[in-house]
């Protein structure tokens, strides 16, 4: 990089032993997020965290960043911890919406600024932003960690100002890249414990405090008193009741239309005419066997006629015998058909008994529900009416095609209610804006009357210190 860029021996030496801030009565310490046991303890000064959060919110179109200053220490038990007590913003850098890169000019600027700090203040890590990208380390971020901040106790902080999320990353054993920690600790003087807890709650998401653009209070400096703004006048209750009433009417209308759609679908399903199946199924016959039987009968008849003619008997006897045999076969067929029909009747009777039992159970259930619900009574009446109308298929189709949405009345009511709701919402917004426009001039006049004559005096020394150096 250059001869003026120094990564001194302090960063690579063994950590010095010191009491952690949470064991020192001079400091107040509050947990942020959820620090886990076994992780590196990270103690961040309150003002340093505010400055990095303010830097991240200053421009969300590109990624911003800087370096962390502090000390890498260990406690009496030999457990390491890091204290972040200051930060330096990177000025000469290469950044886009999705990347951040330190340049040679960046390290030169950081090296010059470090000369104004005590020598025991180490560079313990770096931070940068991911505007609306989430908290993670990209490929370029891992390159910076591996080549510039690769000591065991070096840190990396990623802040997403758009999503209000932030995360610390540390090096761990058996891993080739930093791992995100569960949380960290905010520290400050014990005299600022209330402000510390309030800011920690905002970072933890307990409530949204937002970024405070006012500078921190400096001892010996006179701060201007905040301008008094009287509360806005109370709103009329009838306006809220009217808006809620219109919304309720719209909800009821939508429920009514949904109910009508459901009823139409159920009527269409109940009234669908299924093609009747042919219950009389003819059993297939064996044609080959029938042809063979007829040929055998013809041969037997011819043989019988020849025998009767040979003995001088009555030739018609064979025909009579054949007629009797035919009648016998027909009678047997009739008996078989009768037996088959009897079996069918028995089966049908059994099915009817089962259906009768089911109908009796259904009837008992309907009778028990009849006294408890008017809706079931309407359902039974609808079934009786539908059973009487099933005789005419054309009439059923005309009834099914008579859909509820073909009438213009429903669409007229729907669009009418929607238009009334939009007009009421626009009237409510106009009324609220008129109240605010009427109350704001009164508040500004009152604030001007309270602070119109008040002079804010700053000492020359403080103004010189607060002015930015070129």
pLDDT above 70: percentage of residues in the chain: 67
Q: Report the pLDDT averaged over residues 137-166.
A: 93
Asked whether residue 66 is assigned to any structural domain, the reply reads yes
What is the predicted pLDDT for the residue at 312?
Answer: 64
Q: What is the CATH number of the domain that holds 113?
A: 3.40.140.10
∠ CA(10), CA(16), CA(19), 5° rounding? 140
Q: How far apart are CA 96 and CA 249, in angstroms?
A: 51
Distance from C-alpha of 185 to C-alpha of 408, rounded to nearest angstrom:
67
Closest CA to 82 of 166, 25, 157, 7: 157
71, 122 contact by CB (below 8 A): yes
Average pLDDT taken over every residue of the chain: 75
Residue 32's pLDDT band, with cuts at 50, 70 and 90, is very high
91 closest CA partner among 75, 103, 79, 73: 103
Which range has highest mean pLDDT (217-226, 297-306, 386-395)? 297-306
CB-CB contact of 306 with 431 (8 Å): no
pLDDT of 448 above 60:
no
Residue count of the chain, please give it. Answer: 470
Mean per-residue pLDDT, 142-166 = 93
Strand 41-45 with 80-89, pairing: parallel
Picking from 55-69, 147-161, 442-456, which range would have the lowest pLDDT averaged per residue? Answer: 442-456
Residue-wise pLDDT tens digits, 269-321: 655 544 444 434 444 456 677 777 777 777 777 776 777 666 665 556 656 76
Contact (CB, 8 A) for 80 and 73:
yes
In terms of phi and psi (left: phi > 0; alpha: psi -120 to 50; beta: otherwise), the region of 14 is: beta
pLDDT for position 453: 43
More confident residue, 434 or 34: 34
Contact between residue 21 and residue 83 where contact means Cβ atoms under 8 Å apart: yes
- Residue 454 contacts residue 247 (beta carbons within 8 Å): no
**What is the reported pLDDT for 324?**
77
Q: Taking residues 444-453, what's their average pLDDT?
A: 47
Six-digit token string for 428: 């409510």
Give residue 408's pLDDT: 65
More confident residue, 35 or 239: 35
Q: Rounded to 5 degrees, what angle do the CA atoms 57, 210, 165 make?
A: 60
pLDDT, residue 454, reads 43
With 70 as the cut, is the pLDDT of residue 348 above it?
A: yes
**Residue 263 domain-assigned (yes or no):** no
- In terms of residue numbers, what domain contains 21? 16-204
421 vs 237: which has the higher pLDDT = 421
Residue, of 443 and 388, whose pLDDT is higher: 388
- pLDDT confidence band for 381 (50 / 70 / 90): confident
pLDDT band for position 254 (50/70/90)?
Answer: confident
pLDDT for res 463: 42
pLDDT at 338 over 70: yes
**Residue 60, domain member (yes or no):** yes
Residue 65 predicted with pLDDT over 60: yes
| Greatest Cα pair distance in the chain | 163
- CA-nearest of 185, 204, 190, 177 to 81 is 185
177-217 per-position pLDDT tens digit: 999 999 999 999 999 999 999 999 988 875 444 444 444 44
Provide the 10 A C-beta neighbour count for residue 152. Answer: 13
414 within domain boundaries: no
DSSP per-residue codes, 184-224: EEEEEEGGGHHHHHHHHHHHHTSS------SPPP-TT-PPP
User: 469 pLDDT exceeds 90?
Assistant: no
* Inside any domain, residue 131: yes
Give 387 or 70, the one with higher predicted confidence.
70
Among the ranges given (1-5, 271-275, 375-379, 427-431), the one the predictor scored with the smallest mean pLDDT: 1-5
The structural domain count of the chain equals 1
> Does residue 296 lie within any of the structural domains?
no
Cβ–Cβ < 8 Å for 25, 130: no
With a pLDDT cut of 90, the percent of the chain lying above it is 29
Gap between the terminal Cα atoms of the chain: 25
* Choice between 272 and 168, residue whose per-residue pLDDT is larger: 168
- Please give the Cα distance from 156 to 52 (Å, whole number): 13
Whether pLDDT at 115 is above 60: yes
Task: Provide mean pLDDT across the span 10-25.
Answer: 79
Is it the case that residue 370 has pLDDT exceeding 80?
Answer: no
What token pair was written down for 204?
């933890």
Domain contains 313? no
Q: What is the pTM of this model?
A: 0.45
Q: How far apart are CA 42 and CA 124, in angstroms?
A: 11
Report the range of poorest mean pLDDT among 10-24, 35-49, 389-403: 389-403
Helix (H) or strand (E) holding 247: helix 237-270
Show the beta-strand stretches assigned E in 97-162.
Answer: 100-102, 122-129, 155-160
As a whole number, mean pLDDT of residues 94-117 equals: 86
Residue 101, domain member (yes or no): yes
Residue 426: per-residue pLDDT: 82
Cβ(204)–Cβ(33) below 8 Å? yes
Query: What's the average model confidence in pLDDT over 326-343?
Result: 82
- Of 114, 181, 126, the closest CA to residue 150 belongs to 126
């Amino acid at each position: 990089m250059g001869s003026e860029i120094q990564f001194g021996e302090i960063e690579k030496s063994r950590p010095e032993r010191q009491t952690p801030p949470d064991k020192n009565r001079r400091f107040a310490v509050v947990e942020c997020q959820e620090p886990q046991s076994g992780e590196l303890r990270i103690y961040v000064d309150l003002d340093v965290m505010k400055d990095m959060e303010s830097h991240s919110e200053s421009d969300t179109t590109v990624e911003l960043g800087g370096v962390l200053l502090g000390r890498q220490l260990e406690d009496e038990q030999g457990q390491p911890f890091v204290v972040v007590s200051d930060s330096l913003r990177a000025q000469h850098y290469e950044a886009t919406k999705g990347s951040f890169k330190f340049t040679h000019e960046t390290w030169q600027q950081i090296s010059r600024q470090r000369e104004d700090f005590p020598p025991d203040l180490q560079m313990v890590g770096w931070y940068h932003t991911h505007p609306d990208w989430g908290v993670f380390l990209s490929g370029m971020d891992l390159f910076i960690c591996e080549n510039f901040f690769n000591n065991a106790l070096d840190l990396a902080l990623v802040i997403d100002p758009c999503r209000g999320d932030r995360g610390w990353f540390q090096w761990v054993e058996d891993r080739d890249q930093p791992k995100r920690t569960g949380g960290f600790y905010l520290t400050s003087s014990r005299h600022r414990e209330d402000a510390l807890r309030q800011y920690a709650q905002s970072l933890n998401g307990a409530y949204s405090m937002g970024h405070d653009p006012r500078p921190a209070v400096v001892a010996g400096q006179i701060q201007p008193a905040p301008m008094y703004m009287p509360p806005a006048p109370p709103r009329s209750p009838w306006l809220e009741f009217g808006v809620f009433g219109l919304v309720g009417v719209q909800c009821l209308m939508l429920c009514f239309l949904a109910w009508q759609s459901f009823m139409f679908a159920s009527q269409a399903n109940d009234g669908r005419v299924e093609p009747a199946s042919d219950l009389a199924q003819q059993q297939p016959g064996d044609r080959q066997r029938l042809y063979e039987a007829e040929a055998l009968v013809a041969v037997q008849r011819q043989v019988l006629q020849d025998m009767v003619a040979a003995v001088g008997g009555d030739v018609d006897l064979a025909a009579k015998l054949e007629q009797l045999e035919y009648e016998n076969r027909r009678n047997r067929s009739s008996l078989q058909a009768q037996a088959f029909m009897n079996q069918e009747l028995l089966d049908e009777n059994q099915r009817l008994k089962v259906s009768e039992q089911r109908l009796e159970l259904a009837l008992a259930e309907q009778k028990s529900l009849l006294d408890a619900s008017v809706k079931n009574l309407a359902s039974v009446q609808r079934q009786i009416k539908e059973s009487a109308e099933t005789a005419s298929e054309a009439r059923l189709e005309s009834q099914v095609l008579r859909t509820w949405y073909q009438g213009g009345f429903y669409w007229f009511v729907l669009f009418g209610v929607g238009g009334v709701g939009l007009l009421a919402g626009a009237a409510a917004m106009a009324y609220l804006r008129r109240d605010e426009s009427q109350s704001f001039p009164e508040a500004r006049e009152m604030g001007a009357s309270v602070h119109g004559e008040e002079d804010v005096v700053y000492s020359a020394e403080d103004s010189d210190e607060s002015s930015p150096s070129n």
